[in-house]
């Protein structure tokens, strides 16, 4: 029995990922985000009569890279097609996409949901251009911004292998990681460069025939994807149990109301009237071109985390945190090349460095360099500073180009490890606190922490804890009869 009683959800995802090119798919207009509306347009992306598209070679290379990273079978010959529909943000009245001869087929993506591994099939990867953007509520009007029209995308269509909203969200996280680590997509959900449509249907447990699917459109949050799918599953179950039928629709999702809502009746493939794009020749890929991209693929995030766990002894949590963004993974690898203790390094990066890191797309802003982190840890290893002082030193170095060793010398932060000097301080503390000394010698040995704290306060944390404890135990033991 499934989590939905006698019903089994069947979920497939269509992910639209913007390719990281400087210019659009079929013209030279810029793809930069956030510029004034309709400033990156030309006769080609405006669909003016007589304007001819020219395929962006860099977009092809990125699409091939993504397909290879997903284990897809590349088709050496693919064909662009016109997908006809009429929306205000589609100036030509059709979208250049791929249909019956796409770029790549039959890939896989391995995910893990609550400790259970799942293999999700990739049905196809095809190239296409984006539409523009409708802006509603501008006074009493709706307007359109065509800056995004013609931006190069890949659409990654999964097999209907997912069975819950949580599985869909995890699939999206792992897919996004692959695209980011390969430099194909910046993973920016807020700007819409990575967005998802979910096809959701239900059937009785044990049935093999697919039910009527509903498409949930353009969801840009992992949490909302999971919530929207689960809400839609419940809606369909309620319909069926009332004796009604599920209609093939395109629906949106309201996170505030936790409900899906009708956008339009879903078009069928015949409604799009696909036919080969007459202005673009077939895309033919040479084997040498494919192999050059394959050989340059970076280490993928799943493989990187597995290597860190096996070779470096990092925990699953540490590999997940440090391997969740390409810039953070790169920072750790650079520091690791300079420092042998990977576990100690990972702990320091997680506890101190990452709380000050901000990520934007594929880039990240770090308060320190890998070399500064390594020097701090080496100062601890050498006994020059304590572990507690390492945190203080990190704060002093963060946001500067100062060498940690120089800061230690300038601030007099070196650990006080001289037993005779610590003994002099300890005797002064004992003289100032005779009642506590008497209580300790009477058996309240927990007061040792009080004396340690007093010494650390006087030395501003620079005294070596082990030496402090040894000196205090000896001095306080004198005269106790112990």
pLDDT tens digit sequence for 228-252: 999 999 999 999 999 999 999 999 9
How would residue 462 be classed by pLDDT, with cut points 50, 70 and 90? confident
The three-point CA angle 443-449-452 to 5° equals 120
* 3 state SS of 272: helix
d(CA 269, CA 265): 13
Instruction: Quote the CA–CA distance of 430 and 451 in Å, as a whole number.
Output: 8
Task: Give pLDDT tens digits for 60-112.
Answer: 999 999 999 999 999 999 999 999 988 889 999 999 999 999 999 999 999 98
Give the residue carrying structure tokens 């340059």: 296
375 — pLDDT class (breaks 50, 70, 90): very high
Sign of CA dihedral 458, 463, 469, 475: negative
Q: How far apart are CA 285 and CA 291, in angstroms?
A: 10
Distance CA 31, CA 50 (A): 23
pLDDT on residue 482:
46
Summarize pLDDT for 138-170 with one digit per residue, the tens.
Answer: 677 889 999 999 999 999 999 999 999 999 999
Burial class, 378, CB count within 10 angstroms (exposed 0-12 / middle 13-18 / buried 19+): middle
pLDDT exceeds cutoff 50 at 413 = yes
Q: Do residues 422 and 455 touch, judged by C-beta distance below 8 A?
A: yes
Helices of type H across 70-201 = 165-181
- Global pTM? 0.86
What's the confidence (pLDDT) of residue 141? 84
The CA angle 229-248-218, to the nearest 5 degrees, is 45
Helix (H) or strand (E) segment spanning residue 135: strand 133-138
Q: What are 312-335's pLDDT values in tens digits?
A: 999 999 999 999 999 999 999 999
Burial call 127-161: b when 16+ CB within 10 Å, e when fewer: bbbbbbeeeeeeeeeeebbbbbbbbbbbbbbbbbb
Rounded distance, CA 277 to CA 279, Å?
6
Closest to 81 in 3D by CA, of 59, 61, 53, 123:
53
Give the pLDDT band of residue 15 (cuts 50, 70, 90).
Answer: very high
The label of the residue with tokens 């970076």 reads: 298
pLDDT of residue 443: 86
């Amino acid at each position: 029995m499934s989590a939905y009683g006698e019903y089994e959800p069947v979920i497939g995802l269509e992910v639209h990922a913007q390719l990281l090119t400087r210019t659009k798919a079929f013209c030279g207009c810029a793809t930069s985000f956030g510029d004034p509306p309709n400033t990156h347009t030309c006769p080609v992306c405006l669909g003016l009569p007589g304007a001819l598209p020219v395929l962006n070679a860099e977009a092809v290379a990125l699409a091939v890279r993504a397909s290879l990273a997903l284990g897809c079978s590349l088709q050496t010959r693919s064909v662009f097609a016109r997908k006809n529909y009429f929306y205000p943000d589609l100036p030509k009245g059709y979208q250049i996409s791929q249909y019956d001869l796409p770029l790549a087929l039959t890939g896989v993506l391995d995910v893990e949901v609550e400790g259970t591994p799942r293999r999700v099939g990739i049905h196809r990867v095809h190239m296409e251009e984006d539409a523009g953007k409708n802006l509603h509520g501008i006074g009493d009007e709706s307007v359109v911004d065509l800056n995004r029209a013609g931006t190069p995308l890949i659409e990654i269509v999964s097999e209907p292998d997912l069975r819950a909203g949580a599985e869909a969200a995890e699939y999206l996280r792992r897919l996004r990681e692959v695209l980011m680590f390969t430099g194909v997509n910046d993973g920016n959900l807020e700007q819409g460069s990575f967005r998802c449509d979910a096809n959701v249907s239900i059937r009785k447990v044990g049935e093999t025939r697919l039910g009527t699917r509903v498409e949930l459109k353009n969801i840009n949050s992992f949490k909302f994807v999971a919530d929207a799918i689960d809400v839609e599953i419940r809606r369909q179950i309620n319909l069926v149990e009332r004796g009604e039928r599920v209609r093939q629709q395109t629906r949106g999702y309201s996170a505030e109301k936790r409900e899906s809502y009708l956008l339009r009746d879903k078009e069928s493939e015949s409604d799009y009237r696909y036919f080969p794009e007459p202005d673009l020749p077939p895309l033919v890929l040479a084997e040498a071109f494919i192999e050059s991209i394959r050989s340059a693929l970076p280490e993928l995030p799943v493989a990187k985390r597995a290597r860190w766990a096996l070779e470096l002894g990092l925990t699953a949590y540490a590999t997940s945190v440090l391997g969740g963004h390409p810039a953070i993974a790169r920072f750790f690898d650079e520091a690791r090349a300079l420092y042998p203790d990977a576990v100690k390094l990972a702990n320091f990066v997680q506890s101190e460095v990452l709380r000050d890191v901000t990520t934007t797309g594929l880039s990240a802003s770090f308060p320190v360099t890998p070399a500064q982190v390594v020097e701090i840890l080496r100062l601890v290893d050498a006994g020059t500073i304590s572990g507690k002082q390492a945190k203080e030193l990190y704060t002093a170095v963060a946001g500067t180009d100062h060498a940690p060793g120089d800061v230690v010398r300038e601030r007099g932060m070196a650990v006080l490890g001289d037993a005779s000097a610590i003994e002099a301080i300890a005797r002064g503390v004992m003289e100032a606190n005779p009642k506590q000394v008497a209580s300790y010698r009477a058996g309240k040995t927990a007061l040792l922490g009080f004396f340690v704290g007093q010494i650390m306060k006087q030395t501003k944390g620079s005294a070596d804890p082990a030496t402090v404890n040894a000196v205090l135990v000896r001095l306080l033991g004198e005269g106790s009869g112990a």
